[in-house]
Structures are given as C-alpha cells and as structure tokens.
Amino acid sequence: MLILCILAAAAVFCFGLPACLERVRVGSQADSLVDRIDQEQQSFLDQTFEREKSRFRLARILEKNEQWMQRACEWTGVDRKKTEQILLRLRWPISLVDIVLFRGVAMVLIASSLLRLLVAVYTGQSLGMDVGMPLLISMLLYIFPTLLLESGDKRAKAKIQAQVPVFFSIVQSLVEAGMPLQAAVKQTAKRFDALLGHEMARLEMEEKRFGNWRKALEAMAYRWEVDALTTIAMEMNEAIRKGVSISNMLAVQVEEQLRLQEDEASAHMNRLNIRLLPFVIVLMGLPLLFLVMGPIMMGISQQM
C-alpha cells in the first residue's frame, strides 16, 4: 500500500511538474539600446494586462477548463463565489486554483491517514499519537485556507470601517472649500495612504470597465460589504445624479460613524474588563486570603 501511494504521488507530481523545468526559447540578445527599451516596455505591458500563468501544469489545465474547475471546487468543498469575492477584495497573489489544489492535497493526506488508522485498528495495533497526529494535521491543513482567507477578509473590512470617517471627513472639507465631489474623492485617495485610499484610487481604472465613475464607486462599495461605505456611496451617487450639495450629508454620516466607533470601543473595553475579572480576583484574592488566614493559622498552631 505504501509503494502504491508513493507511485501515485510521483505520478501526480510529474504530471503537475513546475513549468520552470520546461524549455524556454531564448531570444536573440538585443544589440541596440532601442531594442532593449522595446523589450522592457513589452514585458511591462505583458505583466500589466496579461494574467500571470501558473507554474504548474495541472493548475493551468483547471484554469482553462471551466467544467473541471467547477467539479474540483465541489469535490474539495470550496465555495467558489465567496472565495473569488474574498480574493478580489484582498488582492493577494494567490488564485482560486491554488486553494483548490491545496485542499485537494489535504484531502489526499486525510484519506491516507484514515486508511492508516483503519489498518491499525484492523491489525490490532495500539492507537497512539503517531497514528492520530497525521490525521489531525491533515484536517488542519484542509481548513487552513478557509481560516486564512476569512481572517484576512475580516481584518480588511475592519480597516475599511475604521478609515471611512477619516477619509470622508477630508472629502467633506474639500467639498466645503468648493471642489467638486468626484475631484475631492480623487485628490483625497491620492494622498490617503491606507487601504480605503488605495481602493478609491483604483476607481479611475475601474471607471473604464463600468462606463462611469458612479457605477465603479457603487460596485466597489457592494464588493466590500461594509455598511458605512455602502451608505455613503449611495448618497454620493444620488447627489451626483441630482446635482445637489453633499456636504451636510457627509458631515452627518461622519459624525454617526465616529459615534458608532466610540460605542464599539466602549463595548469592547467592557467585554475585556469582564474577561479579566476572574484573573484579577484570583491574583488579588490569594494574597489577601494569605494575609487574613495566616495569623489565624499561626494562632491555632501556637495554642496547640
């Protein structure tokens, strides 16, 4: 059985061997400075507008075949729509194919660990850590991508939620100074070195894909699923469409978000105090108990 597993693993590895071992055509060396500049520009354009190819042949096959990709997601238990949305928000240098292959390898490890466990039970061997630990590690590897993505997405949404009042307070100041709303958002995004500023700066590129800036802003707000950002984006779109002032609305929304953040911070501190209360009681109660009971016990021992 061990030999069969080794042969199967070797076959899968050879089938999905990294593309770095493939032969690559080496072009003629550029003789002039103009040719070298053209090559650099072409490589920059390829890197900017073309999707980076996966280094594994098996990953490239899944990327090209939509039906196989859907079946692989179903077999490995990957929620394709949710995972793609999280990866689009986080913009990490990983793809859905990488997650599917990782969970597929974890499932193979789980199956082999279960098979080993069944063989140990069938042969009457003692079940110890050396038998159960591989199964536990395989299950942790299986759920690791989901936990990593969800924790990263939660942190990113929290950052967006915290940056909304600061960002739009700057926008409000620029609007009150007489700058148009769209120009105020663009100028603030260029100088706001944070996650929300980067997302707002990308609206200029997404504007070409959605047709106008308002649709790009609405799509970005719905993609992040942050209530404060969605509310302000809808109000901004409505103000741009009607051509009315948005300064008062921004002031109200910023004040409301600051108040909500203060309430959340106070609630978090209250929960933290409640969690620390048992430790405080133990750390303070034991010395007090010793101070109170010590003289009493010493008096009893002297009387005896």
Say if residues 54 and 97 touch (Cβ distance below 8 Å): yes
Q: What is the model's pLDDT at position 155?
A: 94
Q: What is the model's pLDDT at position 167?
A: 92
CA distances 119 to 11, 114, 257, Å, are 24, 9, 59
> Kindly report the CA angle at 96 between 95 and 102, in degrees rounded to 5?
95
Reading the chain (304 residues) residue by residue, the pLDDT tens digits are 545 555 565 555 555 555 444 444 444 444 466 666 666 666 655 555 445 555 577 778 888 888 999 999 999 999 999 999 999 999 888 889 999 999 999 999 898 888 888 888 888 777 777 778 888 899 999 999 999 999 999 999 999 988 999 999 899 888 888 888 888 998 999 889 899 999 998 888 888 888 888 888 889 999 998 888 998 888 888 887 877 777 788 888 888 888 887 887 777 777 777 777 777 777 777 777 777 676 766 666 666 6
- Tokens (6 digits) for 176: 């009150």
**Model confidence, pTM:** 0.70
Hunting for tokens 């004040």 — which residue is that? 255
Q: What is the model's pLDDT at position 131?
A: 75
Q: What is the model's pLDDT at position 29?
A: 45
Q: What is the model's pLDDT at position 279?
A: 73
Q: What is the model's pLDDT at position 36?
A: 65
Q: Give the number of other CB atoms < 10 A from CB of residue 159.
A: 14
Q: What are phi and psi of 56, to 5 degrees?
A: -110, 140
Q: What is the model's pLDDT at position 41?
A: 65
